[in-house]
Structure 1
């Protein structure tokens, strides 16, 4: 029996992307429900650099404590794959909600902005005791500040609080990082094309403004039902070049004139 099957009952596949799979799982030891993420990467032991880099990032994520950020519990190796145990959020992603409801009301959008902006503010100003802050590229950057790096409707879940109010939770920190220099030339510059900030297209320094730009695109989509610069075919080079130029130089279409 695999290590995964020995430790967990897999209840549902929550998602599967290019780099990982996420499951709703029941921990056999105590019956708790968790979200379990496995990277599509094979390693032999904990001393491999890929796992040490993974663990270093996860050690910071485990310290994040905010009601609008998914709680990360533990990292482990299951069947030679780096794995991550997280809080299971019972709700729908913004992507799922938009497919059903088309767009959000102004009040619901303002509620989301308040919660997710608070989560990003917490991440961007996070620091460990004794670490320093510095100015870089006109942005105040704290060492160990966490940049999510993949803000899009798939990575925000809406659930319900006990009083019936909405709770919006930022999930999937799989492309996040705490060292902008280390991420400059890595695959972490990627993310969903419609939400990529201009600096991500250019391959230059990624920092807190990149997350803020992507959140702005999400807000635009919530209010209008579509992103400002839609993509029809990700495999068409000409369309992706045009999308890049729009994000770098074009004015955002007036949302009041859409439709």
Structure 2
């Protein structure tokens, strides 16, 4: 980024570009200074689609003007201050420079508590309602559909009047780029959040945004996606959005049943079965206000979550919060998307084995279990209850047994034991990642398709175990090894065998998808 030739460039004789803060298939965003207004910081977004003819320029001017008017109409939409086309026919927007976190960042460690969720979603709905109601442009009412509602497109800032406030980023850009692209060669939208009709290429209305909002609400409340495809291809997501049903909310979350009904209503396959307007959603959300209470997940005085540093950037340093589309594994991809695209390692045999590893993402290192099964085995384990058990032994060698069980009534229990050497850097890193993340993903691979993960299951680690994992990692750093790790593994294996019947009985009786002894 330091070698970017745009750094220091004066755009439109007004905006001095300072540094690149993110890029993707849709374009680039720079931090810039408005020299006319005394150096006020702004964000400049260049679109990757060059405007090569007058028709494209007219379309861009229309979309940019409507976006600017929408930002003036609603405080919950990012404000567009200016727009233009540079000497290379590259269109650009000039936007307010926002200091805050995306919702995607807020939910990377734990779900958003109900009171905070209600506040943020209400703001998002108010912004969407303003767009759906339309903007008058040249005497004509233009109804606006976002087409790409997702957590990374919602920025949470501190507002002097509202306190914490949510703003929607980049109305109109997806439509503009799609209209300028070859329709048979491209798909604009984020597959995990697309409505069924959007994937079919149909004409969209406000109910498509409501479907995407439903996906985002589910993720905010549970940290899970409501739908997961068998693979991350367009066809895989098409099948998921058209045929799969979301899992009910876990009872341990303590969420109102009526709230689940609202979210599931937004996720209806047929748009006629969803709430028909955002106002219907707002009216339903109002009913939950009296039942919600503040808790530890509420933001602190500077608006950030506890132990989360507020960054003075428009979205974030890596570009994860920028609404760029990218068909490769990049900052825009969710952790799930990244994991789905990771192949089975070339240095691992194509056998029915399990091993732990860390996956590098822009949100940090994510702990996962990689599991190889035959194709039928993957299919049989997609609907499974999950349980995790951790056993630690300090002598003769500091060792952790990380055991996961996948269970369903038809196929019984599948045990996935892994041993971590806590005197090794890798063992330390994975253990600490488990403690910090508070959950992990089980990546299922098929023997006949090792090039891509077929399915992902999430398993949450109880707070008690998270604390113990951190303590075990610390203790192991100062504990001397006085014997062979093989002895430690044998002892831990025997202890797990003693517990297996008890664990299976507990899992059978549980109504929860994710069961843990620490809860």
1:247 pairs with one of 223, 241, 247? 241
User: Residue 68 of structure 2 aligns with which residue?
Assistant: 62
Alignment of 1:1-259 (within 5 A): 2-4=9-11, 7-30=14-37, 31-43=39-51, 48-64=54-70, 65-80=73-88, 81-99=90-108, 101-128=109-136, 143-162=141-160, 165-173=163-171, 174-176=173-175, 190-230=188-228, 234=232, 237=233, 240-256=234-250, 257=512, 259=514
The Cα of 1:63 is off from its aligned counterpart by 1.2
| Conservation of the 8 A alpha-carbon contact between 1:103 and 1:224 | yes
| Conservation of the 8 A alpha-carbon contact between 1:19 and 1:39 | yes
Number of aligned positions between the proteins: 238
The Cα of 1:117 is off from its aligned counterpart by 0.6
The Cα of 1:102 is off from its aligned counterpart by 2.7
Distance in 1 separating the partners of 2:161 and 2:139 = 39
Change (3 A) 1:5 1:52: closer
Question: SS at the partner of 2:107?
Answer: helix
Distance in 1 separating the partners of 2:115 and 2:222 = 14
Distance in 1 separating the partners of 2:62 and 2:48 = 18
The Cα of 1:105 is off from its aligned counterpart by 0.7
The Cα of 1:199 is off from its aligned counterpart by 0.2
Change (3 A) 1:233 1:15: farther
Question: SS at the partner of 2:142?
Answer: coil
| Conservation of the 8 A alpha-carbon contact between 2:49 and 2:180 | no
The Cα of 1:66 is off from its aligned counterpart by 0.6
Change (3 A) 1:186 1:152: farther
Change (3 A) 1:160 1:258: farther
The Cα of 1:210 is off from its aligned counterpart by 0.6
Change (3 A) 1:11 1:107: farther
Question: SS at the partner of 2:118?
Answer: helix
Change (3 A) 1:94 1:12: farther
Distance in 2 separating the partners of 1:24 and 1:232 = 39
| Conservation of the 8 A alpha-carbon contact between 1:224 and 1:258 | no
| Conservation of the 8 A alpha-carbon contact between 1:25 and 1:33 | yes
| Conservation of the 8 A alpha-carbon contact between 2:228 and 2:240 | no
Distance in 1 separating the partners of 2:110 and 2:175 = 29
1:225-257 C-alpha deviation (Å, 9 max, x unpaired): 1211246964xx4xx423211211222211225
Question: SS at the partner of 2:174?
Answer: coil
| Conservation of the 8 A alpha-carbon contact between 2:9 and 2:17 | no
Unpaired segments of 5 or more residues in structure 2? 1-7, 251-511, 515-519
The Cα of 1:189 is off from its aligned counterpart by 5.7
Distance in 1 separating the partners of 2:58 and 2:513 = 48
The Cα of 1:114 is off from its aligned counterpart by 0.8
Question: SS at the partner of 1:205?
Answer: coil
Change (3 A) 1:232 1:39: farther
Q: Provide the alpha-carbon RMSD of the alignment.
A: 2.9
Distance in 1 separating the partners of 2:19 and 2:158 = 20
The Cα of 1:78 is off from its aligned counterpart by 2.4
The Cα of 1:120 is off from its aligned counterpart by 0.6
Change (3 A) 1:112 1:49: same
Distance in 2 separating the partners of 1:35 and 1:188 = 27
1:13-59 C-alpha deviation (Å, 9 max, x unpaired): 33212021112211122211111110113346xx6322221111112
Distance in 2 separating the partners of 1:3 and 1:11 = 10
Question: SS at the partner of 1:147?
Answer: coil
Question: SS at the partner of 1:75?
Answer: strand
